[in-house]
Amino acid sequence: MRFILRQKLLAWGNDFVVRDEAGNDAFVVDGRAISLGNKASFQDTAGNELAFISQKFLSLVPVYEIFIGGVLAAVVRKDVFKLFHHTFSVDVPGPDDLTAEGDLTQHEYAFRRGTQPVAHVSKKWFTLADTYGVDVGEGEDAVLILACAVVIDLVCHDQRRR
């Protein structure tokens, strides 16, 4: 399934809107404007929280936790920086961990489970706000993948927003 993940241009926090491939609103991400570390509520269009994203403190590398239904669903950690590359590990309960790798200059990210691709994120270039096309593989948890894409955007681009 394809989605468009777009940062809201005029917002107090790191807010995003997610649309389906037909252009209909599917989800919203309400970033907290005032908090210690980045925090965001991933919601359906009726305002029901589907996931909560929270940055962990006192870590040498950026670490975020994603909670779904109040239960820890994933820990997203930025791995050691590589020239023109970012690598993120997505630790999920059980054996289904993901890795997200991207080319910094091309703003392209691929999520993999082992060697199997499960999603692809691509940044559109000529927009005022960060906008990404997110292609989630069949049978994958779209909310989890989209929440991870939000985390990657926060980590890779947060310094520029300040």
- pLDDT of 11 over the 80 cut: no
For residue 38, give the CATH number of its domain: 2.40.160.200
In sequence order, the β-bridge partners of residue 63 are 77
pLDDT digits (tens, 9 = 90+) for 18-30: 999 999 999 999 9
Range of the domain at 71: 2-161
**Number of domains present in the structure of the chain:** 1
Closest to 11 measured CA to CA, from 31, 26, 41 = 31
Count of beta carbons in the 10 Å neighbourhood of residue 97? 15
Mean pLDDT of 129-155: 91
Q: Express the helix, strand and coil content of the chain in percent, nearest 5 each.
A: 10, 50, 40
